[in-house]
Chain A
Amino acid sequence: MTTEISTPSQSPAAAPAPVTRPPHPLVEFWYHFKQNKGAMLGLVVIVAIALVALFAELLAPHDPNIQFREAILAPPVWYDAGTWRFILGTDDIGRDMLSRLMYGARLSMMIGLIVVTLSLAVGLGLGMIAGFFGGTTDVLVMRFMDILLSLPSLLLAVVVAAILGPGLTNAMLAVSVVVIPHYARLTRAAVLAEVNKDYVIASRVAGAGPLRLMLIVVLPNCLAPLIVQATLGFSTAILDAAALGFLGLGAQPPTPEWGTMLASSLQFLQRAPWVVTWPGVAILVTVLAFNLLGDGLRDALDPKLKR
């Protein structure tokens, strides 16, 4: 603005851009993120899976629970005996694999979303409380988190699921409990780094209450590591929930959860490898996509790595 006023004779078109405004943080973030091919691939795959999950009713060729008695263990279309009716084949009671996988995508995305939301909310709260209040509260909360962390995560999830009873809801609860410490630790570390900075002290002096300080003043500046962790949390959640399903402690048949699908068709491994192959491929691709995205987000959001 000031340059324009001081040099009124120059025509605006001829003037070389006088003041370069820094790009909006989101634009800058997108610029860095875009250069990471792996992360872009991850994003595309996740969007595709999310779309499939959303529109499973429209996209799935069959109902996931209908049993085609005449087509038990029908092979995928590229086998000699395969037909276009069941593109990826059918399982041991004649249900269409492709349709079940599509509905399974919905379950897995939902598992990821619920687990991440739940554990993020609790972990964020605990970490904020520990970081803000310090002292005994901090020691108590973080000690408890350390105890949870000292147990192997899958073991803890298995035990919690076993005690709550098998089922998808309990499996999601179990997986959420297991990952809470990660969020709590990250939040606490970020809060401790921010809490003594001038802008926080300024708003404290201006009379902001603890809730306002926590949620409106400090939280937005702690978000970057949490966003990365939450993205990676999707992959942990999907993987662990599938593992619980595989062990019989997660979603119960006939729910088309990928891990459960794998477990219930184990004995057909030799006769019909496709019933075991596809659910595993689905888990691997989804988890890999979230890991790629998480890595890309970390690189793009971490100021230390920016050039």
Chain B
Amino acid sequence: MLRFILTRVSLVIPTFLGITFLTFILIRLVPGDPIEVRVGERGIPPERLAQFRHELGLDQPLWQQFLDYVGNVLSGDFGVSLITRNSVFDEFVTLFPATLELAFCAMLFATLVGLPAGILAAVKRGSLFDHGVMGLSLTGYSMPIFWWGLLLILFFSVGLGWTPVSGRLDLLYYVEPATGFMLIDTLMAGEYGAFWSALHHLVLPTIVLGTVPLAVVARMTRSAMLEVLGEDYIRTARAKGLADRRVIGMHALRNALIPVVTVIGLQVGTLLGGAILTETIFSWPGVGKWLIESIGRRDYPALQGGVLLIATAVILVNLLVDVLYGVLNPRIRHAR
């Protein structure tokens, strides 16, 4: 078991180094000298320019710069934002819980709706319900989610006034951030009104961000269930007179869940990518919106650090899913 985990962890290290290299190189591709971009139109005396270069290590050979960068990253130094002068890591850590909370709710929504829909569609294969679920999930999969968000705002927020248009919490409330997760913080503070408000703010972004994963989960569940329902042990279970519900719920579902769990794990990357759009539409104060704003402000250190941190988060979640999967499924653990 330990060996399995160690192998998986060691496989991640080259990927992480590769991502670090990629972000390092990408920022070098920005047209223009970083210092000249920073001083702008004013111009700067050559000796000051040389001094700046030296301070920032830009006079070193490229490989030296990269090693320095990796060293900094490993010690938690992801650079300093050009605009706010705050550490990129600190900014990221303050905003990340908002993104995480949203992504978690979206995944929960996708699973809670997608799983039953997929199971029912498989059980009633060929029925109107099946066609409906498959049609809807293909539509969801094709949905431009930025537009979907706007439609929902237009209908539920503007038209019916049921949900707020943007943000995380009503301006009426202030809750001291403890965990950064609004739902937990408000409950811990005992502010039930604020909790209710936070929940209201979450509804539309959750639906929007959860739409694509929902479609994927429903389709995957259906096809996994269809495959399992054709197996011999299902026929055996039916033949020995078990109730339909028990055959489907116990015998089929458990085995069908294996590929579904993998797919759910793989959706984490999609979710964090989709968060960029969702957060922009709903002014959700998370890392996605922050990243887009950094691009608009040409804050390249923030962009570089943010991308590296998000990529690291995705890699870590995938690693976690991988390990969990091995724990749940001995066949994977013992393969090679």
Contact = CB atoms under 8 A, between A and B. Distances in A.
A259 B144 contact: yes
Given A150-B19, A163-B30, A155 B276 contact: yes
B138 interface: yes
Interface in A70-126: none
Nearest to A246: B146
Interface residues of B, number: 43
Contacts of A159: 26, 303, 307
Could you tell me the dominant secondary structure of chain B's interface residues? helix
B307 A155 contact: yes
B314 A154 contact: no
Interface in B1-39: 14-15, 18-19, 22, 26-27, 29-31
A150 B321 CA distance: 14
Contact of A235 (B142, B303, B311): B142
A61 interface: no
A292 interface: yes
A163 B142 contact: no
A115 B73 CA distance: 34
A2 interface: no
Which one of B139, B144, B303, B310 has the greatest number of beta carbons of chain A within 10 Å? B144
Interface string A252-287: 000000010010001001100100110110011001
Contacts of B141: 291
A14 B292 CA distance: 76
Given A143-B14, A270-B154, A291 B147 contact: no
B139 to A, nearest CB: 6
A188 to B, nearest CB: 18
Contacts of B138: 38, 288, 291-292, 295
List 5 A-B pairs, minimum CB-CB distance, nearest first.
A152-B273, A280-B147, A154-B273, A147-B18, A288-B142
Interface of A: 38, 143-144, 146-148, 150-155, 158-160, 162-165, 235, 239, 242-243, 246-249, 259, 262, 266, 269-270, 273, 276-277, 279-280, 283-284, 287-288, 291-292, 295
22 contacts: A150-B15, A150-B311, A151-B269, A151-B307, A151-B314, A153-B270, A155-B273, A155-B291, A155-B310, A159-B307, A246-B146, A246-B277, A259-B146, A269-B153, A269-B158, A276-B147, A277-B151, A279-B147, A283-B147, A284-B143, A284-B144, A284-B147
